[in-house]
């Protein structure tokens, strides 16, 4: 794939971004073009107007292709919708003290797990299938079980799926855009892959991406994505709360949120803050009330995040670090708020792979696109790329479930 151009498309509620890149012989990523347009036709990751979405995708991709005077054959699309689901499924197989074979044992066990998932999730489409580890005889953990002898083999698989109709609607959109999508990629997975180095992957971390109207949580332990979730609240809700509480227009409310954040004076009783609207009129707000409005929404989001972290039980495994990204992570004081609530280290996402001749702040602006690019060029070693869903009769299904 060296020097071959690929496109990474990130469709967000607020902005749609497209990045064209290639990789050179020294494994450096070279950026050829990048474009951003305001999104229409999609909200919280759900399509609300197909025609508007088609126009936005055509505009974003078309502008980037025009810049390099070339059409992109392979496009990878990141998705961030509250309709995603992440579950873990344990699968085991009796070996009988024979050597473990890849096709007969490992691959067959993976395919059976996929079929069991689809038996109870008929309306879902698997986007990512991830393995955590292989275990022999219920106690010996190995990286690769092939050619080893054992009585039994088991593995835990992480399955990231989304509603089938959602994918079919997207396929319809891209077909009308005359674009060939190589793969759909789960956005929290892509941004997490980019945000941490190898040491952090091994030790474990939580990645929080504060988006416009969603917040994603991705939790890694020993290099494995053990839990993820997309919460239906984001930084836009803070702005909306300010706007409604003080009867302000959205732009002024956004400015107040950016200027103040969570940083307030210690003694704010009977203190007013002064701002000017777009007509240069003076607006005075109670600092105490503004603090209550902003902190209430932020604490609600953080409490939802805390529940996801507690569900993963990573606190019981010596978990240390939270990595934050997204536009909402720039809210003044939010890192300290997270640190105080969860009692752990909080850092901002950092670039974890080399980009060649970059002349703009591509990392923060195109983080998800770069994460997709990294997954394409440097496959995540825990992802299972080959699996099959088989159609079976009733008795064959029962055999697979209990074998």
The C-alpha atoms of residue 369 and residue 17 are separated, in whole angstroms, by 7
Two structure tokens written together for 321: 């670090």
Strand partners, 221: 224
The C-alpha atoms of residue 112 and residue 402 are separated, in whole angstroms, by 11
Nearest CA to 6 out of 29, 28, 35, 37 is that of 29
Task: Give percent of the chain with pLDDT exceeding 90.
Answer: 57
C-alpha angle 320/362/59, rounded to 5°?
125
Sequence-ordered alpha helix ranges (H) in 261-333: 287-312
Strand partners, 142: 134
Element (H, E) at 137: none
The C-alpha atoms of residue 220 and residue 182 are separated, in whole angstroms, by 26
Cα radius of gyration (the chain)? 23
Instruction: Report CA torsion sign: 153, 159, 165, 169.
Output: negative
Are 235 and 262 in contact, with CB atoms under 8 Å apart? no
- pLDDT (0 to 100) of residue 301: 95
- pLDDT (0 to 100) of residue 317: 67
Give per-residue pLDDT as tens, 134-176.
899 988 988 889 999 999 999 889 999 999 999 999 999 999 9
- pLDDT (0 to 100) of residue 401: 40
Per-10-residue mean pLDDT, the chain, length 403: 85 93 87 94 88 96 95 92 91 89 87 92 94 88 90 92 94 95 95 85 90 93 91 94 94 93 75 84 90 94 94 75 92 93 87 61 83 90 74 45 38
The C-alpha atoms of residue 368 and residue 11 are separated, in whole angstroms, by 10
Nearest CA to 42 out of 75, 70, 80 is that of 80
DSSP single-letter state for residue 100: P
**What 3-state DSSP class applies to 234?**
coil
Task: Give percent of the chain with pLDDT exceeding 70.
Answer: 90
Are 136 and 152 in contact, with CB atoms under 8 Å apart? yes
Q: Which domains does the chain have, with CATH numbers?
A: 6-82+166-195+352-377 (3.30.420.40), 88-160+385-402 (3.30.1490.110), 198-233+299-348 (3.30.420.40), 235-296 (3.30.420.40)
Does this model's pTM top 0.75? My answer is: yes
Give per-residue pLDDT as tens, 259-283.
999 887 776 666 888 888 888 888 8
The C-alpha atoms of residue 342 and residue 321 are separated, in whole angstroms, by 10
- pLDDT (0 to 100) of residue 203: 85
Four-CA torsion 149, 154, 158, 159, nearest 10 degrees: 100
- pLDDT (0 to 100) of residue 403: 37
Q: How many CB atoms lie within 10 A of CB 227?
A: 21
């Amino acid at each position: 794939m060296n020097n071959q151009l690929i496109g990474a498309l990130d469709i967000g509620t607020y902005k749609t971004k497209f990045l064209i890149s290639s990789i050179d012989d020294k494994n450096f990523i070279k950026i050829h073009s990048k474009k951003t347009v305001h999104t229409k036709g999609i909200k919280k990751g759900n399509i609300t107007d197909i025609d508007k979405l088609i126009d936005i995708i055509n505009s974003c991709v078309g502008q980037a292709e025009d810049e390099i005077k070339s059409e992109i054959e392979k496009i990878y699309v990141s998705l961030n919708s509250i309709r995603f689901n992440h579950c873990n499924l344990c699968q085991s197989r009796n070996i009988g003290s024979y050597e473990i074979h890849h096709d007969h044992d490992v691959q067959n066990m993976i395919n059976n797990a996929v079929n069991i998932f689809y038996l109870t999730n008929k309306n879902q489409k698997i986007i990512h299938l991830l393995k955590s580890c292989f275990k022999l005889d219920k106690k010996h953990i190995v990286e690769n079980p092939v050619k080893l002898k054992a009585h039994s083999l088991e593995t835990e698989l992480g399955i990231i799926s989304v509603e089938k109709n959602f994918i079919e609607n997207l396929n319809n959109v891209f077909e009308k855009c005359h674009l060939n999508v190589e793969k759909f990629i789960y956005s929290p997975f892509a941004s997490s892959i980019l945000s941490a180095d190898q040491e952090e992957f091994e030790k474990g971390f939580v990645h929080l991406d504060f988006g416009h109207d969603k917040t994603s949580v991705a939790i890694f332990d020993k290099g494995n994505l053990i839990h993820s979730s997309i919460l239906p609240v984001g930084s836009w809700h803070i702005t909306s709360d300010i706007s409604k509480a003080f009867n302000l227009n959205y732009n002024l409310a956004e400015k107040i949120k950016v200027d103040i954040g969570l940083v307030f004076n210690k003694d704010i009783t009977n203190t007013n803050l002064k701002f000017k609207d777009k007509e240069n009129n003076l607006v005075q707000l109670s600092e105490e009330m503004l603090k209550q409005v902003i902190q209430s929404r932020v604490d609600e989001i953080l409490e939802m995040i805390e529940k996801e972290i507690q569900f993963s039980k990573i606190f019981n495994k010596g978990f240390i670090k939270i990595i934050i990204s997204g536009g909402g992570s720039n809210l003044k004081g939010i890192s300290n708020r997270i640190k105080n609530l969860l009692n752990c280290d909080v850092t901002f996402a950092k670039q974890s792979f080399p980009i060649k001749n970059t002349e703009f702040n591509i990392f923060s602006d195109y983080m998800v696109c770069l994460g997709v690019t990294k997954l394409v060029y440097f496959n995540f070693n825990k992802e299972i790329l080959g699996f099959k869903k088989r159609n079976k009769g009733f008795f064959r299904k029962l055999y697979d479930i209990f074998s």
